[in-house]
């Protein structure tokens, strides 16, 4: 990653986050794992950690996140953008944080991007990016936690092999865009969104999520067997599903959501 871009990100973020650093590593198992290890070792500074390549990227529930390096990752030609933002946060309620992050990321990138509850960015019927948030305890301030906000974005075409949803990539909507530019667009607004979330909780992001909801108004099926019509989220970020037995609120992060009749995938 271009050092100018890392400097520009640091300058853009510093006013909102004193002590902030932006760090690029050519290779790491997972930027989330690295920041969680640092947090457990007492390193709780605000930092953006960007990986040229992840060797063991993680999704939710122990799933894998696959990413590609570019021919020369230092020149910013990565096939994937993988990064984690770590910072202490003390919101009154953590509900909906991954949705708030999603709203910020899609707003920074492109109006055509949509959000699939609770942590995916979609382009039409394919997955373009994923969000993984983990937190660590802070010993002497029980109201705050160290939050690690991980984001993985496909920048370039990639095969669907082994993926539960065929992939989309950012170049489809922003032709020629490279990882450094995307990161520069995302980083400072994401920090501001996290600060807003910390102050006001999810409710400030509810309308933003519902405007970008990939599945609002569509028939969906949940991994717990529930079927119904998705109706967006409430002010706490709970998914609302209109079922035969009434309106169901889904909060469990263990639940996966799928369109009941996914449209045929585009042949790109
Ligand atoms: P959910 O709806 O519960 O979020 P999900 O299938 O999206 O289900 P996650 O845990 O959110 O599951 O994301 C991990 C999944 O993302 C993996 O199981 C894999 O199928 C998919 N995946 C991994 N890498 C990529 C990638 N680069 N592009 C698109 N999808 C990917
Ligand atoms: C998902 O779709 O379930 C979430 C995928 C999150 C991937 C990003 S890439 C940067 C950070 N490091 C990881 O190991 N995971 C997140």
For ligand 1, whether the C-beta of 185 sits within 6 Å is no
Measured in whole angstroms, the distance separating CA 5 from the mean position of its chain's CA atoms is 20
Q: So what's the pLDDT on residue 267?
A: 33
Catalytic (active site) residue 127: yes
Neighbour tally for 18: CB within 10 Å: 8
Which parts of the chain fold into alpha helices (H)?
3-13, 31-40, 97-109, 179-200, 203-212
- Given a cut of 90, whether residue 101 has pLDDT beyond it is yes
CA distance 127 to 154: 9
- Spell out the domain ranges in the chain: 3-211, 219-267
Q: So what's the pLDDT on residue 256?
A: 76
CATH number of the domain located at residue range(s) 3-211 in this protein:
3.30.930.10
DSSP string over 158-169: ---TT-SS-B--
CATH number of the domain located at residue range(s) 219-267 in this protein:
2.30.30
| Tokens 């509900």 belong to residue | 95
Q: So what's the pLDDT on residue 2?
A: 76
CA distance 125 to 100: 21
Q: pTM for this one?
A: 0.94
- CA 131–ligand 2 middle distance (angstroms): 6
For ligand 1, whether the C-beta of 130 sits within 6 Å is yes
For 76-80, 91-95, 117-121, which range has the lowest pLDDT when averaged over its residues?
Answer: 76-80
Q: So what's the pLDDT on residue 261?
A: 66
Average pLDDT over residues 145-164: 95
CA distance 201 to 195: 9
- CA 167–ligand 1 middle distance (angstroms): 9
């Amino acid at each position: 990653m271009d050092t100018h871009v890392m400097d520009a990100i640091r300058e853009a973020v510093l006013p909102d986050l004193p002590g902030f650093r932006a760090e690029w590593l050519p290779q790491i198992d997972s930027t989330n794992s690295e920041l969680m290890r640092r947090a457990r070792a007492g390193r709780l500074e605000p930092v953006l950690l960007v990986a040229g390549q992840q060797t063991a990227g993680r999704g939710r529930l122990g799933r894998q996140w696959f990413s590609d390096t570019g021919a020369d990752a230092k020149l910013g030609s990565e096939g994937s953008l993988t990064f984690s933002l770590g910072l202490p946060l003390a919101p009154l309620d953590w509900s909906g944080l991954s949705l708030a992050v999603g709203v910020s990321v899609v707003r920074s990138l492109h109006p055509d991007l949509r959000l699939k509850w609770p942590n995916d960015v979609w382009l039409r019927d394919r997955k373009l990016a994923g969000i993984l948030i983990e937190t660590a305890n802070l010993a002497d301030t029980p109201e705050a936690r160290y939050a690690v906000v991980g984001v993985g974005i496909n920048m370039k075409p990639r095969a669907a092999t082994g993926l539960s949803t065929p992939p989309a990539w950012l170049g489809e909507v922003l032709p020629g865009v490279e990882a450094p530019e995307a990161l520069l667009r995302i980083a400072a607004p994401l920090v501001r969104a996290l600060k807003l979330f910390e102050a006001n909780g999810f409710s400030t992001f509810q309308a933003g999520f519902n405007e970008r909801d990939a599945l609002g108004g569509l028939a969906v099926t949940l991994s717990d067997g529930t079927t119904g019509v998705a109706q967006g989220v409430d002010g706490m970020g709970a998914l609302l599903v209109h079922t035969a037995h009434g309106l169901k609120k889904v909060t469990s992060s263990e639940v996966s959501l799928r369109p009941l009749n996914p449209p045929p995938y585009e042949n790109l």
